[in-house]
């Protein structure tokens, strides 16, 4: 569990400086990762994130194994200590429904060396969620994940998108209502909601939404506007302020927020989860003002950005966003300067990518510059892992991309207290 103790205080100091600024001020915090702290423990590792002592795990010899240098970061040393299969597993996050078996998934975590889990389908009660979180974290032994803990995620945006409810979880209002609170009050409320996540063993929130829905489209925008998931319709600057406030509140509780769905789902009509139709945004460009909420969330310290599966022909005429180097590498990492973890929207059950073979959903995303492949269908993970490993053997440049992604994921885990380079 990532506690809201010394880590939270460090996060609050780093991420909330300026949290009381006037409503019209822009978020200018420049951190793009959670500050390091050695105060948090997990079920499987100690959390000395800044120690210079390397782990005792012996590096596995492989042509794709990164070679640590005397000045290598903790994440680089951890990556070098993992087998190729363990490294690839760090790039996979799978879904668990309340009706699913956490014991079965725990066995899969160990067998497939999985790096993350997301709670889907609506869970009831913090105690129940915490019990499952602990069971899954306990599966991350040396042989399974090299002793690296899991990213445990949930969609806790508020309104109609809140996967964890019941005892121990507040009823979170929609983003539209959150925007009536003011940025300072919102940061405070989000901090409280995020502390509830830490008590349930959840360390990643797949929120806030950075999408802006034009007022002319409104509820006709199926993924966002229909469910009031945007803070302020038609106003990317206001959305940026509230997205940044949400990010700061989440960080203050020791949870990693995720700004989504880059580069924006506000201008489409179709919901990529249920259809491939109406999922082309023919307006958004690399200089679009609707990118501002994502830029503001990154400046506020968001360590993860989720990429959509819609099409943006003014940026890339050939590929959906998550498979596009122009979107992920050139725009997000290049123009916006994001150096954190990039995660897909669901590629398991989503209709927008149903025509793409399962293995290619993973390899194409990583080749575009992405890091974590999220699938609601845990049964797809072995196919994805095999496809990534096969591509690594075929392409040294792809293997290098995989290693860079693994290092980014491990750096986040070090900062969350899920991995350590010290005893």
Per-residue pLDDT tens digits for 55-105: 333 333 344 555 444 457 999 999 999 999 999 999 999 999 999 999 999
User: For the chain, which residues score pLDDT lower than 70?
Assistant: 1-71, 423
Q: Please, which residues have CB within 8 angstroms of residue 101's CB and are 6 or more apart in sequence?
A: none
In this prediction, residue 66 carries a pLDDT of 52
In this prediction, residue 423 carries a pLDDT of 52
CA gap 335, 286 in Å, rounded: 8
In this prediction, residue 422 carries a pLDDT of 76
Alpha carbon of 416 to those of 51, 87, 115, 187, 346: distances in Å? 15, 18, 14, 20, 23
Please report where in the chains the tokens 């100091």 appear, as a residue: 13
Task: Classify residue 179 by its DSSP letter.
Answer: T
In this prediction, residue 42 carries a pLDDT of 37
In this prediction, residue 11 carries a pLDDT of 42
Superfamily grouping for domain 84-408 = Glycoside hydrolase, family 3, N-terminal domain (3.20.20.300)
> With the CA atoms of 97, 100, 106 and 112 taken in that order, what torsion angle do they form, in degrees rounded to the nearest 10?
-80
CB 418 within 8 A of CB 42: yes
How many CB atoms within 10 Å of residue 287? 9
End-to-end CA distance of the chain: 18
């Amino acid at each position: 569990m990532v506690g809201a103790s010394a880590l939270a205080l460090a996060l609050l100091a780093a991420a909330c400086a300026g949290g009381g600024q006037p409503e019209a001020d822009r978020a200018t915090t420049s951190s793009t990762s959670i500050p390091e702290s050695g105060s948090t423990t997990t079920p499987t590792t100690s959390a000395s994130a800044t120690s210079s002592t390397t782990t005792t795990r012996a590096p596995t010899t492989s042509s794709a194994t990164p070679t640590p240098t005397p000045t290598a970061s903790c994440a680089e040393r951890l990556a070098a200590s993992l087998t190729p299969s363990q490294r690839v597993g760090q790039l996979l996050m799978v879904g668990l429904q309340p009706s699913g078996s956490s014991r079965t998934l725990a066995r899969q975590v160990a067998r497939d060396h999985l790096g993350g889990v997301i709670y889907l389908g609506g869970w009831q009660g913090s105690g129940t969620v915490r019990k499952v979180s602990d069971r899954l974290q306990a599966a991350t032994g040396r042989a399974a994940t090299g002793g690296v803990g899991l990213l445990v995620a949930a969609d806790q945006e508020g309104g109609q998108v809140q996967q964890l409810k019941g005892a121990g979880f507040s009823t979170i209002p929609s983003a539209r209502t959150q925007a009536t609170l003011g940025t300072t009050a919102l940061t405070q409320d989000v901090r409280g909601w995020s502390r509830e996540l830490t008590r349930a063993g959840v360390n990643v929130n797949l929120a806030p939404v950075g999408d802006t829905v034009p007022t002319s489209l409104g509820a006709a925008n199926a993924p966002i506007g229909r469910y009031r998931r945007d803070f302020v319709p038609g106003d990317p600057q206001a959305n940026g302020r509230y997205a940044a406030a949400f990010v700061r509140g989440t960080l203050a509780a020791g949870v990693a927020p995720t700004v989504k769905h880059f580069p924006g789902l506000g201008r489409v009509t179709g919901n990529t989860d249920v259809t491939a139709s109406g999922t082309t945004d023919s307006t958004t460009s690399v200089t679009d003002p609707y990118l501002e909420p994502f830029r503001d969330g990154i400046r506020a310290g968001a360590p993860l950005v989720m990429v959509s599966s819609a099409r943006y022909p003014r940026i890339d005429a050939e590929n959906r966003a998550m498979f596009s180097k122009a979107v992920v590498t050139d725009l997000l990492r290049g123009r916006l300067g994001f150096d954190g973890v990039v995660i897909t929207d669901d590629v398991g059950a989503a209709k927008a990518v149903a025509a793409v073979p399962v293995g290619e959903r993973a390899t194409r995303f990583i080749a575009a510059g992405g890091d974590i492949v999220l699938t609601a269908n845990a049964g797809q993970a072995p196919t994805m892992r095999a496809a990534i490993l096969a591509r690594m053997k075929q392409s040294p440049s792809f293997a290098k991309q995989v290693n860079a992604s693994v290092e980014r994921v491990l750096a986040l885990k070090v900062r969350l207290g899920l991995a350590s380079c010290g005893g």
